[in-house]
Every structure is written in C-alpha cells, then in structure tokens.
C-alpha cells in the first residue's frame, strides 16, 4: 500500500488560516507570556528578592527542617490536645452560628424570594464586604471586643462565614424549583408558607452539605486564628515558632495535618449520607 501523495502547496491553498496565521495571532500568546514574566521580574526586584538572600534563607530553612526531626511534644502534649479540642470547637460553633444567621439573610438576597432589586442590592453588597475581609482581620476586631481567647475566634469565624454562607445559600435558593412555591401559592398559602413548605425542603439538604463542607474548611482557618491570639492550636504554634522550639513546631504541624485529615474523612462520609454522592458541590 502506498501512502497518499500529499501536495503541501495544495494543502496550504486549502487551509490558509492554519498555515498562514496572521502575525498578530501568532504573537499574542508569547507576548502575553513575556508580559506576565516581565511583571514577575519587576515584582521580584521590587520585593527585595536577591539570590544571596534567597540561598541564605534556604540553608537556614534546611537547618530548621533538620532541627524539626524528630517531632516531639516534650511535656506539653495535654496542652496541645486541649488546644486542638479548642480549635475543633471554634470551627463547629463558628460555622453553626454563621449558618443560623445567614439563612434568613440569604432569603433576602435571593432573586426568587425578594424580586425588588433595590432591597436585594444592599444586602448582597453587605455580604460581599463581610466576605472581602479576611477571617484573621475579624479575629483582631473581636479580640478588641471580647478579649483574647477562643470566644473571639468563634465570633470571627461566625462573622466571616456569615458572608460566605449568605451568598452560597442565596444561590441555592435561586436554583430551587419554583413549581412547588407556585403550588403552595395556588392553594392559598402565605409568603411564609411558600418559603417554609415550598423552598426550604428543597434547599435544606444542599445547605446542610455546604455547612458540613465549611466545618471542614474552617478547621483549617481555626488552626491559624490563634496566631493573632484568638485561641486554639495556632496560638501554641505561633508561640513555639517564636521561641524556636522546632521539634514542638513539627509536632504541632503533624497534629494539624492529622486533625484536618480526620475531619475531612468524617465530614465527607456525613455529607454523602445526607445528600448522596451526586449532589456534592
């Protein structure tokens, strides 16, 4: 069998846009890449990256890593376990509080519940601004209010998640089927009935899944919230890093990793049990 004779010139004539792309199209992507890396180089210079500093730091980091081995809690294991319990408590309570407060507000931000743009717009911007501020900043604010300690952490997580939940819940509500709501309206139900019997049964499983997912991710945020003094294992971690007790640091990091993995596992199981494998976002 002989291969087909292909005449390159004929191909060129037939597919001009494959063979002769205009220079602008061919150069666009390389130009973008060059521009991106030019900004990178500018950034490296502006942020005081010098090779000598980098390599000095790297060798320092190597020393630190060596000193971390083996991880050892010393005599403070009970304190660390208590701190870990505190972290988990902060995550659970903060998320629950946020969910409880976010549910009514998310109704206000949902297009199919509140048709008026004028009312919805400020609610949404309000939620956005709360979300735009990092959890750590909220923690600092609450420390000013209730003092140092895990309670400030709970409130910080509650507030910053309130913003996230408000948005997520309202999206879930907007995705709900309107037919049930119309059915209840047709049978003479009040607007409250529409929400209670038409909307909530549809969205509660979705919301439960999201809340569980956030408990999981908040375990991570709660581990660091202690760095600014709002309780939990981050407080211990920051302290041990400041006094350069590297073996304890590595032990604490291991604890965090194990705890996060465990929570991931448990809440994954729960999520599947509540909403089924299909609906996990």
Where do contacts with other proteins occur on this chain (CB under 8 A)?
Answer: 36-37, 39-40, 43-44, 46-49, 53-54, 57-58, 60-61, 64, 85-86, 88-90, 92-93, 96, 128-129, 132-134, 136-137, 140-142, 144-147, 149-151, 153-155, 220-221, 223-224, 227-228, 231, 234, 237-238, 241, 244, 249, 253, 256-257, 260-261
CB 176 within 8 A of CB 202: yes
Q: Of the two residues 14 and 82, which places its CB atom closer to other proteins in the complex?
A: 82
CB 112 within 8 A of CB 175: no
User: C-beta of 26: minimal distance to other proteins in Å?
Assistant: 15
Q: Of the two residues 152 and 173, which places its CB atom closer to other proteins in the complex?
A: 152
Q: Of the two residues 13 and 56, which places its CB atom closer to other proteins in the complex?
A: 56
CB 249 within 8 A of CB 68: yes
- Closest of 137, 131, 132, 167 to residue 152, by C-alpha: 137
* Cβ-based neighbour number of residue 44 at 10 Å: 12
Q: Of the two residues 163 and 194, which places its CB atom closer to other proteins in the complex?
A: 163
| Radius of gyration for the chain, computed over Cα atoms and rounded to the nearest angstrom | 27
Residue with tokens 């701190």: 83
User: C-beta of 44: minimal distance to other proteins in Å?
Assistant: 6
Phi, psi (degrees; rounded to nearest 5) at 110? -90, 135
User: C-beta of 195: minimal distance to other proteins in Å?
Assistant: 20
């Amino acid at each position: 069998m002989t291969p087909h004779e292909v005449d390159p010139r004929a191909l060129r004539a037939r597919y001009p846009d494959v063979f002769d792309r205009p220079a602008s199209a061919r150069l666009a992507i390389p130009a973008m890449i060059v521009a991106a890396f030019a900004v990178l180089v500018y950034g490296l210079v502006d942020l005081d990256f010098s090779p000598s500093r980098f390599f000095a730091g790297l060798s320092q980091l190597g020393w630190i890593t060596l000193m971390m081995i083996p991880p050892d809690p010393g005599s403070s294991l009970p304190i660390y376990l208590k701190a870990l319990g505190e972290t988990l408590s902060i995550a659970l309570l903060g998320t629950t509080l946020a969910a409880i407060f976010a549910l009514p507000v998310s109704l206000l931000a949902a297009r199919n519940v509140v048709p008026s743009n004028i009312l919805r717009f400020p609610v949404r911007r309000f939620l956005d601004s709360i979300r735009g501020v990092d959890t750590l900043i909220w923690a600092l604010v609450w420390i000013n209010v209730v003092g140092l300690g895990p309670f400030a952490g709970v409130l910080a997580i509650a507030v910053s998640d309130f913003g996230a939940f408000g948005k997520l819940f309202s999206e879930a509500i907007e995705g709900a089927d309107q037919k049930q709501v119309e059915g209840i309206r047709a049978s003479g139900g009040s607007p409250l009935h529409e929400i209670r019997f038409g909307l909530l049964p549809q969205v509660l499983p979705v919301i439960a899944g999201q809340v569980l997912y956030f408990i999981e991710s908040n375990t991570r945020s709660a581990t660091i919230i202690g760095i600014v003094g709002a309780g939990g294992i981050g407080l211990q971690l920051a302290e041990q890093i400041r006094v350069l007790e590297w073996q304890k640091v590595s032990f604490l990091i291991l604890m965090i990793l194990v705890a996060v993995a465990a929570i991931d596992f448990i809440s994954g199981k729960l999520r599947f049990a509540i909403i089924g494998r299909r609906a996990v976002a």
